[in-house]
Structure 1
Amino acid sequence: MPIDLPKDVRAQAIASIERYFREHMDEPIGNIAAAGLLGFFLEEIAPVVYNQAVSDVQERLQARVAEVDLEVHEDAFGYWKKYEKVGKGRR
């Protein structure tokens, strides 16, 4: 499944790559080269990050599902228990 970015996000990512090269590398990178580098990262490396995120979400959801019975459990046959706490029931 390819990872696509909305146009505005893609433009911001390209601008960020250009800025990174200006501030941290010996030579700046042009817009077309930055777009190519972004495309490479999205195709080659982003799936690793995506798959890890999916795995993390699955783990958290499984933990939450395992606790559902604790959160929504209702005791059965509780009608008479409320009278036992107050005192003897009516006769």
Structure 2
Amino acid sequence: MKEITLSAERREALCRDVQKTFSTKFDETLSDFRAGEIVDLMLKTMGPAVYNQAVQDVRAHLQGKLDDLDGEVWVDESA
């Protein structure tokens, strides 16, 4: 599987969210480096599972649409 990467902007936003969470919930200030390390760790450990779940969710959604395709676009030929 391809490595999961984030844009610089998204990574920075996640780092800020981690810093805010640690500050408000744990009364701990994280440096940019430490927040980045946490984001990288979470991406490495949880990223593949979240990605795979998203793929399965999309597959189920699209399969439902395909299963309903006849009902949506079927034209009665005898009419």
The answer to whether the superposition gives a TM-score over 0.5 is yes
Which residue in 1 is equivalent to 2:25?
24
Moved over 3 A (4+): none
Task: Measure, in 1, the Cα distance between the counterparts of 2:39 and 2:15.
Answer: 7
Taking structure 2 as the reference length, the TM-score comes to: 0.88
Q: Which has the larger radius of gyration?
A: 1
Find the residue that maps to 2:55 and give its secondary structure.
helix
**1:57 is matched by which residue type in structure 2?**
V
Cα deviation code 1:16-75 (max 9, x no counterpart): 111111111143211101101100111110211111111111111111101101111112
**1:36 is matched by which residue type in structure 2?**
E
- Ranges in structure 2 where 5+ consecutive residues have no aligned partner: none
Alpha-carbon RMSD: 1.2
Q: Percent same amino acid at aligned positions?
A: 29
After the TM superposition, which residues 30-41 of structure 1 pair with which residues of structure 2 at under 5 Å, given as runs?
A: 30-41=31-42
Task: Measure, in 2, the Cα distance between the counterparts of 1:66 and 1:72.
Answer: 12
Q: Structure 1 residue 50 and structure 2 residue 51: aligned?
A: yes
Task: Give the number of aligned pairs.
Answer: 78
